[in-house]
Every structure is written in structure tokens, then in C-alpha cells.
Copies of this chain bind each other. A is one copy, B any other.
Amino acid sequence: MRIGELAEATGTTTKALRFYEEAGLLPSPDRTGTGYRDYPPEIISRLAFIRRSQSAGLTLAQIRGILQIRDGGQAPCEHVQELLRARLSDLDRQIAELKELRGTVAQLQADATTLEPARCDPASVCRYL
């Protein structure tokens, strides 16, 4: 199948497909006599995997790592487990950071709506921050 068909079948763009190839996530496909990329149907499930991985918040570099293990003939199970563990603790950290920031901003915002401007000092720009 041609690149446009594949893009439509997988809900992505031809730009992204060429980019994935360049980035080592997709193998270089065969070419037709006139140089058009000619993909085998199996490539669709590979792209489905890429999309599932992305929606789990993995980066393309991490996904490439998994694919390389699989392409090397191994099962990437343990590597995937490790990535998921790391991703989870990273998410916990991010959420905690954002919650703390939310607390700070909420306080600033509360002050800003209840306190009177109270003679802002122009030199310090704004007393609400």
C-alpha cells in the first residue's frame, strides 16, 4: 500500500510516517519501480503499537527502544515493564509538582481577588505576585 493509504488507514499523516521512518521506528519499505514507498499490510499493527505506546505517554525514543528489541528477535516484556514503572513514578512526581504549584497559584489568585490593590509599589511591578 502507498503512504497515503497507510496514513489514512492508521489515522496519521504522510509527514509523520516519513518522520517515523527517519527516526527508526518504521523499517524502510520497498519501493515501486518509480520510487513510491510500498508498505506491506502488517505495518498497520506496528503503527497501532506505536499509537498505543504514545497514548501511554511513552516518547518516540522509548518506543523505538521497544521496537528494536522486538526486531532483534527478543520479547521486550521486561523492558516494557521497566518503562511502565518509570513512567508511573514520573507521572506521580509530575502530578505532585503540579498540585503544589496549584496550591501556590490558588493562594495568589485568592489574595488577588480579595486584597485591595493597596498601593502597589510600581518598582516591584505587582504585589499579587
Contact = CB atoms under 8 A, between A and B. Distances in A.
Q: How many copies of the shown chain assemble into the complex? A: 2
A88 B117 contact: no
Interface stretch (A2-10, A12-20, A43-51): A43-51
Interface size classification for chain A: 35 or more
Interface of A: 42, 45-46, 48-49, 52-53, 55-58, 66-67, 70, 75-77, 80-81, 84-85, 87-88, 91-92, 94-95, 98-99, 101-102, 104-106, 108-109, 112-113, 117, 120, 122-126, 128-129
11 contacts: A45-B123, A46-B125, A53-B129, A56-B129, A58-B129, A70-B125, A80-B126, A81-B109, A84-B105, A85-B109, A91-B102
